[in-house]
Amino acid sequence: MLPDEMRELRAIQSALLGTFDAAGFSEVRTPTLEYADALELGDGRSADSAYRFFDELGEMLALRTDMTIPIARLVADRFRDLDPPHRLCYFANAYRAVTPQRGELREFGQAGVELIGVPGPEGTAEVVELLDRSLTAVGLDEAVIGLGEDGLWTALLQDAGAGPETIELSSELLVSHDLVGVERALAESDELDPEAIGQAATLIQLRGGAEVLEAARGLGGQGFAVVLERLEENFRAITDRVSSRSVLLDLGMLREIGYYSGSTIEVYDETVGDVIGGGGRYDDLMNRFGLDLPAAGFTLYTERIHKAQLERRGVGPRAATGERDSDV
């Protein structure tokens, strides 16, 4: 990066650090290198995209793919005898073995927080409120926070009689936003009747305010209703603390990271045409490292934050060409 770009990135970090600090979150740092089995324990899906190699003793190491798993391990190792909650923040680079495409980097900056020891909806609302403040701090107060619920899709399909293979395949397609592929996979499974397929197609299109909860009440069975009620509780808690204009319910949201176990979050900015941050609840992750504590957090992708700032100032590459994506 050139000097001007570095100054602008440092300004983003400074604004976010001030916001995190004011909310009572303390900065931590973890090693860039992790033991590969620790990443596997945290999330096998993320570990699949890790750069791996052997050290001089034959131990398999990996470059961290995000900061949540290393911080979960850090808290389990170093905070075990301290009373929760633990409010931690970070600024770091992460690494993933991806095929470079527009918006995908092998190395990328992350800035985020982890709130460990506060259950949802209270903990979820605190995290989303801080996320909203953070976006304002970097001049992106028009960005939209998408709120979903991990388990909603699975519950709908299980209620309809879908088997594990159908659920897994359709989930992979939904993560990649291949909605046509999702409907095709469900139709070809021979496990769901046309009504159930229609309900699934309706669910993944539901985005908006509280009205989408009403629209979803007629879908699924008892299992789906339980998960939907959990989403509604979280949404009410969040909108008590954050403007409902900033929060968009997205019932078709499914994130590729495998440790989420409740509310999920994505941040959209129309000037970039991409997701600029994400997060959610990961109440089961701490258990994998031997510490039974609820947890939630978010991360912002600093290069995309910087790109969004440039676009809003009219000096980014998309502003110069007039390019706009039709969907984020």
Give residue-wise pLDDT tens across range 165-206.
999 999 999 988 899 999 999 999 889 999 999 999 999 999
User: Of 113, 112, 119, 111, which Cα lies nearest the Cα of 85?
Assistant: 119
Say which range, 17-26, 118-127, 268-277, has the weakest mean pLDDT: 268-277
- 134 pLDDT more than 70: yes
- 102 pLDDT more than 80: no
Give the pLDDT score at 325: 42
Domain ranges of the chain: 3-32+64-321
Q: What's the mean pLDDT in 59-64?
A: 93
Q: In what order do the strands lie in the sheet with 295-301?
A: 26-27, 86-95, 107-116, 295-301, 274-281, 263-269, 144-149, 247-250, 207-208
- 320 pLDDT more than 50: no
The 3-state secondary structure of the chain reads: CCHHHHHHHHHHHHHHHHHHHHCCCEECCCCCEEEHHHHHHHCHHHHHCCCEEECCCCCEEEECCCCHHHHHHHHHHHCCCCCCCEEEEEEEEEECCCCCCCCCCCEEEEEEEEEECCCCCHHHHHHHHHHHHHHHHCCCCCCEEEEEECCHHHHHHHHHCCCHHHHHHHHHHHHCCCHHHHHHHHHHCCCCCHHHHHHHHHHCCCEECCHHHHHHCCCCCHHHHHHHHHHHHHHHHHHCCCCHHHEEEECCCCCCCCCCCCEEEEEEECCCCEEEEEEEECCCHHHHCCCCCCEEEEEEEHHHHHHHHHHHCCCCHHHHHCCCCCCC
Q: Which residue has the higher pLDDT, 105 or 216?
A: 216
Give the pLDDT score at 287: 93
Give the pLDDT score at 226: 96
User: Of 180, 225, 232, 222, which Cα lies nearest the Cα of 201?
Assistant: 180
Assess contact for 39 and 65: CB atoms under 8 A: yes
Calpha distance 269→29 (Å, rounded) = 28
What confidence category does residue 326 fall into, taking pLDDT thresholds of 50, 70 and 90? very low
What's the pTM value of the predicted model, to 2 decimals? 0.90
Give residue-wise pLDDT tens across range 232-246.
999 999 999 998 778
Assess contact for 199 and 169: CB atoms under 8 A: no
- Measured from the Cβ of residue 163, the count of other Cβ atoms closer than 10 Å reads 11
Give the pLDDT score at 66: 92
What confidence category does residue 327 fall into, taking pLDDT thresholds of 50, 70 and 90? very low
Assess contact for 35 and 60: CB atoms under 8 A: yes
- 215 pLDDT more than 90: yes
What confidence category does residue 103 fall into, taking pLDDT thresholds of 50, 70 and 90? low
- 318 pLDDT more than 70: no
Q: What's the mean pLDDT in 81-95?
A: 96
Cα atoms found within 13 Å of the Cα of residue 191, Cβ hemisphere only: 17
Give the pLDDT score at 243: 82
Task: Give the pair of three-digit tokens for residue 50.
Answer: 């890790």
Tell me yes or no: is domain 3-32+64-321 CATH 3.30.930.10.
yes
Q: Is 253 left (phi over 0), alpha (psi -120 to 50) or beta?
A: beta
The single residue listed with the structure tokens 């949802």 is 120
Q: From the CA atom positions of the chain, what is the Rg in Å?
A: 20
Give residue-wise pLDDT tens across range 9-24.
999 999 999 999 999 9
Give the pLDDT score at 315: 67
Give the pLDDT score at 324: 43
Calpha distance 171→154 (Å, rounded) = 8
Give residue-wise pLDDT tens across range 278-315.
999 999 999 999 999 999 999 999 999 999 999 988 76
- 328 pLDDT more than 70: no
Percent of the chain with pLDDT over 90: 73
